[in-house]
Amino acid sequence: MKRPYGHYAYSLGPIRKCAWTEEIAAVDLQVPTASGMIIADFAIIGGGYTGLNAALALAEAGADVALFDAEFPGFGASGRNGGFCCIGGARASDAQLERRHGRGAAAEVRQAEMAAVAHVATLIDRLGLDVDRHSEGEAMMAHSPAKFEALRRAQPEIDRRYGVKTRLIEASALAEHGLNSGFHGALILPVGFALHPRKYLAGLVAAAKSAGARLFGDSPVTAIAPAAEGFRLTTPQASIRARRLLISTNGYSAENLPPWLRHRFLPAQSSMLATRVMSPAELAAQGWTSPQMAYEDRRLLHYFHLTPDNRMVFGQRGGLIASQANDARIAQKVRADFDRLFPAWRAVETPHHWSGMVCLTASLTPFCGAIPELPGAFAAFGYHGNGVAMGSYCGKALADLALGSNGNDPDRVAIPRAFAAPPPRFPLGPLRRAWLAAEYGWARLTDR
C-alpha cells in the first residue's frame, strides 16, 4: 500500500498510551484473520465508524457482507479520537457551498450535520450501548475579548443555520457554570454530546456481528480488481469475491487502493493527552467542573472535556512528520498548552498521550458516493476531524447507496449534493502536506 506518511503513522506506536485502551483494549476488538476463499455480496474495506455503520445497516437489511481491516476494527481514528459527537464534517463556507453546488447546498450540509448527531444518538439508544455519554451540546470558548464579541455577532446566524437557540456566557459568569480557565466567554450550542469512542466502537462491532456481518482483522487488502461478478480483492491469506465494494478507510487510506483515491485525501495528525483521575478538590481548584465538551473558536483549536470519571481529555492539531521522536516533541507542546489553559492542574499527571489522523479534502467537504469509473464501488472519507457523527452517518449512507435503496425508503439518509461531488486532487500531489504547513502558519498568524 502506498500511503502519504511513513510506517510509524500506521503502527501501534501512536496509540500505545491512548487513554481509551484502558477499558477497551485491542484484544477486546480482535476478529478473525481472513483466509482462503471468501464470497460475499458486499465487501467493506475499513473497520472504523463508517465501515461498521455500513456493515450493520447492510446486515440488518439481510445482505451478505464481509468487512476487512488491515489491523483491527477501530485501529484508526475511530479508536483514538477525542470523543466528540457534534456538528461538523465540512469546512467549506456557506458561500462556497452555494457557489459550487447551487442554491440550498449550504442548508443541505447543515441539515446533514444535525442528522449525523441524531443518527448516532438513535443508534446508541436502539442498541442499548453504554458509551459514557455526557455533555449536553458543546461550548465554543472565546480565547480573547474580540473573539467573544465575534461569537455574539455570529449568534443569530448560528441559530438560524441550525434551527436552535444558543446561549452566551459572559466571561464573568464562566466560573459559576464550571467553565473557568481564563477564557473570555462562551457560546453554548445545544447539539451533540461526548462519549467514550472505544465503547461506541465495541458496541458497533458486537451489533454488526450479531446482525450477521463477517468481520476480519489483520487482513490488509493489497489489491482490487474488477471482475465479471463484481470485484476480486486480495489479502495476504485470502481471496475475496464481492458483487459490490465499499471503501471506508478515511485518513488511513492508501493512494492506490483504488488508484482513484490518489491525492484526493490529505491526512492531518491530531495529538491528545488525558490526565489521571482528578479529585473534586482538584477540579474545584481550577474551577472547571463541568462535563461540557468544549473547543476554542479559532482555526488551530484546542478541544477538551471532562470524562465521567473526572479525567480531562485535551487535544489539538499535531505535527507534519510521523515519528516516535516527533510524537514525543508534540506531546510536550500539548502539555505546555494544557498547563497554560489550566494552570491549577500543572502538578496533575498526564500518563496518557497519543496521536492519530483526521482526513481533509481539497473541496473542504466529505465525499460520500459512487467511485467514478469503478461501477459498483462506493467510498466515504474526509470528515475534517468530526468523524464520530459524520463518519457514522456516511456509513449508513454508503449502505443505502450500495443497496440501491430508493428515495421513498423512510430509513434512507440524505446525502448533500456537496458530499456526492467527487473531491478534486490536491495540488502538489505527493508533496501536498506542504499545504498543511502553509495553513498552519497562516492560522497561527490570523489566530493572534
Give residue 297's pLDDT: 81
> For 330-346, how does the pLDDT look when each residue is reduced to its tens digit (9 = 90+)?
999 999 999 999 999 99
Asked if the model's pLDDT at residue 408 lies above 60, the reply is no
Please give the mean pLDDT across all residues of the chain: 93
Give percent of the chain with pLDDT exceeding 90. Answer: 86
> For 237-295, how does the pLDDT look when each residue is reduced to its tens digit (9 = 90+)?
999 999 999 999 999 999 999 999 999 999 999 999 999 999 999 999 999 999 999 99
* Cell digits of residue 73: 476494527
Give residue 254's pLDDT: 94
Residue 249, helix vs strand vs coil? coil
Asked if the model's pLDDT at residue 211 lies above 90, the reply is yes
Write b or e for each residue in 398-426: b if 16 or more Cβ atoms lie within 10 A of its Cβ, otherwise e. bbbbbbebeeeeeebbebbebbbeebebb
Residue type present at position 170: E
What the chain holds in terms of domains, given with CATH numbers, is: 7-83+198-267+362-447 (3.50.50.60), 131-196+273-356 (3.30.9.10)
Give residue 281's pLDDT: 97
Residue 198, helix vs strand vs coil? helix
Q: What is the mean pLDDT of residues 1-5?
A: 86
Asked if the model's pLDDT at residue 447 lies above 90, the reply is no
pTM above 0.85, yes or no: yes
Q: What is the mean pLDDT of residues 157-182?
A: 95
Q: How would residue 412 be classed by pLDDT, with cut points 50, 70 and 90?
A: confident
Half-sphere exposure in the Cβ direction for 186 (13 Å, CA): 26
Residue with cell string 463484481: 230
Q: What is the mean pLDDT of residues 402-425?
A: 85
Asked if the model's pLDDT at residue 409 lies above 80, the reply is no
> For 138-168, how does the pLDDT look when each residue is reduced to its tens digit (9 = 90+)?
999 999 999 999 999 999 999 999 999 999 9
Cβ proximity of 255 and 4 under 8 Å = yes
Asked if the model's pLDDT at residue 229 lies above 90, the reply is no
Residue 245, judged by CB atoms within 10 A of its CB (0-12, 13-18, 19+), counts as buried
Rounded Cα gap, residues 8 and 321, in angstroms: 10
Q: For the chain, state the CA radius of gyration.
A: 21
Give residue 445's pLDDT: 53
> For 414-445, how does the pLDDT look when each residue is reduced to its tens digit (9 = 90+)?
999 999 999 999 887 777 777 676 665 545 55
Q: Which has more pLDDT, 147 or 411? A: 147
